[in-house]
Amino acid sequence: MIRVENLTKYYNQLCAVDQINFDIQKGEILGLLGPNGAGKTTTLRMLTGYLQPSSGSISIKGLSIDKHVLEIKKLLGYLPESAPLYHDMLVFDYLKYVAAIREINSAQQLPRIRQLADLCGINEVMSKPIGELSKGYKQRVGLAHAMMNDPEVLIFDEPTSGLDPNQIVEIRKIIKEIGREKTIVLSTHILSEAEATCDRIVIINQGKIVADGSTENLKHSLSSKNMIHLCLQNADFKSVETTFSALDGVESVTKVRETDSEIDVGVTCRSDSDLRPDVYRKIKETDWILLDFHQETQTLENIFRELTKES
């Protein structure tokens, strides 16, 4: 559906997006994840034809964006970050204007606007100026704008930024709902959101792709280590270290935190074996008091932090 090859964008000297490649299948919901300034928005803007790439190519449904930009714009619906809409237009007038530009014939304009108003829940603000709407409603009007011509590909730039938790859930629900038939690309820096809505995640950092795959795959492929977390009383680090280092499969023992009475220890071990029974048996032999004992699995959060931390 969408193919991106060696896409690069320079802003003067600054390289915002650096040689990225990915393919998006029809019907997929792809999450573009990355810290602030990673190049997410720039990538999406290039996909929509708003920005011109410095080099590289984008093709959507086999149409190259350099040659068929108007045809591609007809296939796309785009919601920019924070939905920049005309403040002094009424919501209804605005949607009517969009319908006209999207070349929806005048008999179908009104039913289509009603349908979208129901889907996005904006019926009660139709006769208000956009400038007076709250952020959540503005975002929904933006969503209605993006879906006006029932496009095959939808591109959302941080669709839930600045919304309250209820609105976030609602917008996600709408995205999930339309994602059953459409191809969706969305960017976010909220991991739980990507996990909840996307089939596939591409993590980018400093303009480069650092990970690409489904959420499960990402967790699996990147978690080669497990960490067992212990909180002990009546123990000193030295003896704890010697006790656990003797176990087969333990790679290192680190002190996380130490107070007068307690000590927090992290035992890093290879993920192919479960060492929890052995660790417990070792503790039983001593007179340490066990306050906390859990194994940390790699969450998307950890993977993200690992991949995008400043090197």
Helix H or strand E encompassing 131: none
Q: Is 307 in the site for other proteins (CB under 8 A)?
A: no
Q: Is 125 in the site for other proteins (CB under 8 A)?
A: no
- The Cα 28–Cα 293 span in angstroms is 39
Residue corresponding to tokens 């029932």: 150
The minimum distance between CB 27 and other proteins, in angstroms, equals 22
Question: Whose Cβ is closer to other proteins: residue 3's or residue 102's?
Answer: 102
Q: With 0-12 CB in 10 A as exposed, 13-18 as middle and 19+ as buried, what is 84?
A: exposed
Q: Which stretch binds other proteins (CB under 8 A): 29-37, 79-87, 181-189, 267-275?
A: 79-87
**Helix runs in 52-210, H state only:** 69-75, 91-101, 106-120, 135-147, 165-178, 191-197
Q: Is 78 in the site for other proteins (CB under 8 A)?
A: yes
The minimum distance between CB 146 and other proteins, in angstroms, equals 9
Burial 250-288 (b: 16+ CB within 10 A, else e): beebeeeeeeeeebbbebebeeeeebeebbeebbeeeeb
- The Cα 30–Cα 61 span in angstroms is 16
Question: Whose Cβ is closer to other proteins: residue 88's or residue 216's?
Answer: 88
Q: Which stretch binds other proteins (CB under 8 A): 17-25, 68-76, 166-174, 233-241?
A: 68-76
Instruction: Candidates 40, 145, 172, 182: give the one binding other proteins (CB under 8 A).
Output: 145
Q: Is 87 in the site for other proteins (CB under 8 A)?
A: yes
Question: Whose Cβ is closer to other proteins: residue 2's or residue 283's?
Answer: 2
- The Cα 94–Cα 92 span in angstroms is 5
Q: Is 70 in the site for other proteins (CB under 8 A)?
A: yes
Q: Is 165 in the site for other proteins (CB under 8 A)?
A: no
Please give the torsion angle defined by the CA atoms of residues 146, 149, 151 and 154, in that order, rounded to the nearest 10 degrees: 0
Question: Whose Cβ is closer to other proteins: residue 99's or residue 203's?
Answer: 99
Give the DSSP letter of residue 288: P
Size of the site for other proteins (CB under 8 A): 28
Question: Whose Cβ is closer to other proteins: residue 109's or residue 286's?
Answer: 109
Question: Whose Cβ is closer to other proteins: residue 98's or residue 175's?
Answer: 98
Q: Which of residues 15-54 bind other proteins (CB under 8 A)?
A: 45, 48-52
The minimum distance between CB 48 and other proteins, in angstroms, equals 4
Q: Is 85 in the site for other proteins (CB under 8 A)?
A: yes
How are beta strands 29-33 and 183-188 bridged, if at all? parallel
308 Cβ contact list (under 8 Å, min separation 6): 34, 35, 38, 203, 205, 210
Site for other proteins, rule CB under 8 A: 45, 48-52, 70, 73-74, 76, 78, 80, 82-89, 97-98, 100-103, 142, 145
